[in-house]
Amino acid sequence: MSQSLKISLGQKSDKGRKKINQDFYGAFIPKEPQLSSKGIAISLADGISSSDVSQHASQIAIKSFLEDYFSTPESWTVKTSVQRVLKATNSWLYLQTRNSPYRYSPDRGYVCTFTSLIIKSNTAHIFHVGDTRVYRLSNNALEQLTEDHRLWVSKEKSYLRRALGMGDALELDYQSVPLDIGDLFILATDGIYEFANHDVIINTIQENDDLEQAASLILEHAYQQGSTDNLSIQIVRIDQLPSQSADEVYQQITTLPFPPELKARMQFDGYEILRELHNSHRSHIYLAVDIETQEKVVLKVPSIDLRKNTDYLERFLMEEWIARRINNAHVLKPCQQTRKHNYLYIVTEFIKGKTLKQWMIDHPKPNIETVRDIVEQISKGLRAFHRQEMFHQDLRPDNIMIDETGTVKIIDFGSVRVAGLMEIASPIEEQTAIGTALYTAPECFLGEAGSKHSDLFSLAVICYQMLSGRLPYGTKVSMSRTKAAQRNLKYQSVLDDHQEIPVWVDEALKKALHPDPYKRYDTLSEFIYNLRHPSKHFINRTRPPLIERNPVLFWQSISFILALIVIFLLSQDAFPP
């Protein structure tokens, strides 16, 4: 079986020569599946001596962090999860100070330093603000990985310049470090590192396999050396890192047998097959009835052609995992599993309606308001993906359904990229998933991973196609596989003589469809807003320039003007004054 992540941990804290202990520490080692998806968290906070309430800030910071971090979506990266949680904690602490007698003296309020080590898969993620420190013990030397956020006004006097709760905005240091078995990390407050020299720390750890004992001895040594502050230390050793062979992953994926060939009227695993809905080289999709509830559902089973493809099977299973983490009216909903599956397949809701592709065939010239409504609904579904740090990567009319009530839903998740899962070591090579070429953003053809900007491009292509029946760059995007070629892509205006489309809508589409992802809109909501409200940047452009509207007429006009100038000059030579 594959190895899982294992660590050894020793930690100790004491008030020392102070009246109270303003330090607070904590660690949480979850069980699977969170051990793989979220990792292990070790955190340390240090109060400041100028505050009488700083110990409360330290305690709140550690407790809320360890609770909230493991409640964030599994799809989020470590960095996103920690930043969201700590920004919320920082705002809460800052508000407590603002509502307290210390509102004009922040250094006396709810303020503390904060340092956290998140160990996920084969990487250590370090987050830090203040002057607690993280060291790595390597080659018999201590390497300080964090920077002290202190402002020194003299050799004897300094102030914290950054801390949790000190201001309304949090500036957090972040770095990631690759791990090896046997790596050692030390988290310590200034009551430890200012009085225990490196040789003592190194020798104590090397001589004591019990890290709890090592932590106690180092703390006692710092105290005996005259430490006047609270003393806290955490020691972490990497004992085992996760690793899997491709064969093991394949065995896990195929624990359940593949379904037999399904046919109408056949009963299968508690369902009655009604008919086949779709059949392709990637999957087989059937309309069925749950015999127990009499509810119509859709069954999706793996393609017969790809059942030996481990990467394909992993992505197939990911579809249900993704669907269960998104609850949005504009995203296909998985069915609640009420009984054990005996085969490998996915069950989702049945949407009575038609694909957007078929709708576009049936409505070749929709009015602009209808197009806006459809695009807005798709964007709501996309935003649900993006909030979870998921990127669709294959948005196209075939993957969008419109039901009988006019509700638009995104229905296919086979190419979705989940940022959080990219951090988990896997023997299966992750490849950039390129969807249908006509709707795929240019940067994906350069090997870049999907992003919110690439999903925006795909949505804008769909909007453009609904309005015009054409594609903004024809088929040239898929053939432009260098940055130089992509810079030569020329946007074709959506405007024509037969449709009443405002010029500023064309400008909005042009921006959303820019070949450079960083010159598009930053958010979907900006694009949607500009489809209904002209941007200040576009408002003065009532008509496109003549060279864009009619290049032939433009150059004919230039030639005519030049001819008049030549005739005038010749006449001056013929009839000198």
**pLDDT, tens digit (0-9, with 9 covering 90-100), for 268-302:** 999 999 999 988 877 899 999 999 999 999 999 99
pLDDT of residue 249: 45
What does the pLDDT average to over 485-514? 90
Sign (positive/negative) of CA torsion 421, 423, 424, 426?
Answer: positive
429 pLDDT above the threshold of 60: no
- pLDDT of the residue at 558: 87
Q: Please tell me the distance from the alpha carbon of residue 367 to that of residue 372, in angstroms, as a whole number.
A: 9
Question: Which residues, other chains included, contact 436 with Cβ-Cβ below 8 Å and sequence gap of 6+?
Answer: 394, 396, 398
Given the structure tokens 């001895």, which residue do they identify? 217
Can you name the CATH fold of 353-544?
A: Transferase(Phosphotransferase); domain 1 (1.10.510)
Residue 536 has pLDDT above 90, yes or no: no
Position 131: which residue type?
D
Which of 186-195, 315-324, 498-507, 559-568 ranks highest by mean pLDDT? 186-195
129: nearest Cα among 186, 85, 170? 170
pLDDT tens, position by position, 462-486: 999 999 999 999 889 888 889 899 8
Arithmetic mean of pLDDT, 440-460: 92
pLDDT of 462: 97
Q: Which amino acid is at 52?
A: D
Contact 544, 502 (CB under 8 A): no
The yes-or-no verdict on residue 488 having pLDDT over 50 is yes
Mean pLDDT throughout 155-179?
A: 87
User: Which residue matches tokens 């991973």?
Assistant: 449
CATH topology of domain 6-243: Phosphatase 2c; domain 1 (3.60.40)
Per-residue model confidence as pLDDT tens digits over 134-147: 999 988 899 999 99
Mean per-residue pLDDT for 187-212? 94
Q: How confident is the model at residue 541 (pLDDT cuts 50, 70, 90)?
A: low
Nearest to 219 by CA among 45, 10, 9, 8: 10
Looking at every residue in the chain, the average pLDDT score rounds to 88
Mean pLDDT of 150-164: 80
Q: What is the pLDDT of residue 574?
A: 62
CA distances from 156 to 151, 152, 153, 159, 227 (A): 11, 8, 8, 11, 16
Q: What is the pLDDT of residue 535?
A: 79
Least confident of 51-65, 207-221, 379-393, 531-545: 531-545
The yes or no reply on domain 247-349 and CATH 3.40.50.1000 is no
The dihedral through the CA atoms of 261, 266, 269, 273 has a sign that is: positive
Q: Residue 282's closest CA among 307, 261, 310?
A: 307
pTM of the model: 0.68
d(C-alpha 322, C-alpha 343), whole Å: 19
Query: Of the given ranges (44-58, 107-121, 317-331, 412-426), which has the lowest mean pLDDT?
Result: 412-426
pLDDT, residue 539, reads 62
Q: Are 435 and 458 in contact (CB under 8 A)?
A: yes
Sequence-distant (6+) residues with CB within 8 A of 14 are 21, 219, 223, 230, 231, 232
For residue range 244-259, what is the model confidence (pLDDT) as tens digits? 444 444 455 556 788 9
End-to-end Cα, the chain, rounded Å: 103
Say what percent of the chain tops pLDDT 90: 60
Is the fold of 247-349 the same as that of 353-544? no
Tokens representing 132? 């607690």
Using 50, 70 and 90 to split pLDDT, how confident is the model at 164? Answer: very high
Domain ranges of the chain: 6-243, 247-349, 353-544
- C-beta of residue 244 within 8 angstroms of C-beta of residue 427: yes
